[in-house]
Each structure stands twice: as structure tokens, then as C-alpha cells.
Structure 1
């Protein structure tokens, strides 16, 4: 099991919209994540910087960031593109974070 963390940037004033969309996460996307080994996935928000901090546990080699070619993921990215920083393909600008401490 690997632990992955990354950060993303939310557009100003979009926290509630972001939260609502994730509270109503599409069942097919949830299923896809679980089928691809994502067993835990949390996203935290820093109000001072509008930064999202994401953490996930993944069995296997990949994580949610490795599903870029899946049509469900591409549709989700398009759905979220209006409220966060995205790349030209609508994928979130996502910066991997290095783990420097872990207490089990």
C-alpha cells in the first residue's frame, strides 16, 4: 500500500461548490477509483491560500492521477474545470508532495 499526497489550487470563492460536487461524487467515478486500488481519499482545504491538499492510499502502482485516459475521469475534469486551476486538457494542476514523516 502506498500513500500519495498532492496539492491543487481552487479558484477564489469556490470552496462550497467544490465541496457540494464532491459530496455528490458520481457513483461511476467512486467505483472506478475503488477498482483501481484507491481505498482512502481525503481532500483538505486551506482557506488562506485556496490550496487543496489531497491524500490517498493506493494498492498497486498507480493512483487517481493515473486514470487520465478514462472517459469518466475526463468528464469529471470537464465538470470541475470552471472552479479550479487546470491544464489545457482540463486535468487539475496537481503538484505531488514528498512524504517526509509518517507515524504508524
Structure 2
């Protein structure tokens, strides 16, 4: 198995949209899940912090290049458009996201 890199980030959901955000992820669109797997994304999880608005994302990725290419897919753009009313986004409807740097790991 190829070595995977961890991708960890935060995003912000609007407080009055948390329930809808959760509903739309259970389950995520099948075509979205397939596309992510095809782009080398594994073990992708989202968590909601106790503040009720901060989302914490974790994914294992095969490469930064494949991860970046997700944004160019039609299904991703459609997903972003559908999620934009629920969370803070950039002008292209991509979620505002802040990468987190790993500082400790215990295997």
C-alpha cells in the first residue's frame, strides 16, 4: 500500500444550519464518495466541535496533487454549491478552510 499523508483542516458551519449539514452527510452523495476514492482519499471523517460551529476534517490522502484535483470535478463543484447556504465559503462556493499542522503522532 502506498504511503498516505494526513490532511487535517477546520471549517465553519452556520449555527442554525448544523442539523442540515449533518443530514446532508448521512449519507454523503454516492457519486461524491466514489469521486473522493478515485482521487486517493481514504478514511475521511468530519467532526463537530463543542462550540457547535467549528468542523474538524480528517482524511488520509495519496497525494496533495490528487487532493487538489478534487476541486476541479463537476461533482465537487455541485456539492459546494449545495453546501454554500450552510457554511462559510469563498467566492467560488468552496468552503473556507484552514489547514492544521500535525505536531504530534503516536503510532
Pair 1:61-2:64 in alignment: yes
Shift of 1:39: 1.1
Q: Distance in 2 between matches of 1:11 and 1:79?
A: 14
Unaligned runs of 5+ in 1: none
Shift of 1:66: 3.9
Query: 2:8·2:99 contact (CA, 8 Å) conserved in 1?
Result: yes
Q: Secondary structure at the match of 1:98?
A: coil
With normalisation by structure 1, the TM-score equals 0.92
Q: Alpha-carbon deviations, 1:40-78, whole Å to 9, x = none?
A: 101110131510000000113346454211110000000
The partner residue of 1:83 within 74, 86, 89 is: 86
Unaligned runs of 5+ in 2: none
With normalisation by structure 2, the TM-score equals 0.90
The match for 1:42 is 45
**Moved segments of 4+, more than 6 Å:** none
* Structure (1 or 2) with the greater helix fraction: 2
Pair 1:96-2:68 in alignment: no
Q: Distance in 2 between matches of 1:63 and 1:93?
A: 19
Q: Give the total of aligned pairs.
A: 104
Q: Secondary structure at the match of 1:23?
A: coil
Pair 1:14-2:17 in alignment: yes
